[in-house]
Amino acid sequence: MNISYFSNTKTMSQKAAAIVLEDLEKNASLLLCAATGSSPNILYQLLGEAYERQTTLFQKARVIPLDEWIGLATPKGTCHAYIQEKLLLPLHISKDRYFGFNAEADDLEKECNRIQKTLQQEGPIDLCILGLGKNGHLGFNEPATELKSHCHVAILAPQSQEHSMIGSAATKPTKGLTLGMQDILDSKKILLLVSGDGKEEVTKQLRSGDVSNDCPATWLWNHSNVQCLVTHDKFVL
- Which residues are known to be catalytic? 67, 135, 137, 142
The neighbouring-strand residues paired with 3 are 228
For 20, half-sphere exposure in the C-beta direction (CA atoms, 13 angstrom radius) is 32
Report yes or no: 93 and 61 within 8 Å, Cβ to Cβ: yes
How far apart (Å, rounded) are the C-alpha atoms in residues 150 and 225? 20
Report yes or no: 204 and 235 within 8 Å, Cβ to Cβ: yes
Integer angstrom CA distances of residue 227 from 19, 90, 168, 191, 194: 9, 25, 33, 5, 11
Residues ≥6 apart with Cβ < 8 Å to 26: none
Report yes or no: 217 and 138 within 8 Å, Cβ to Cβ: yes
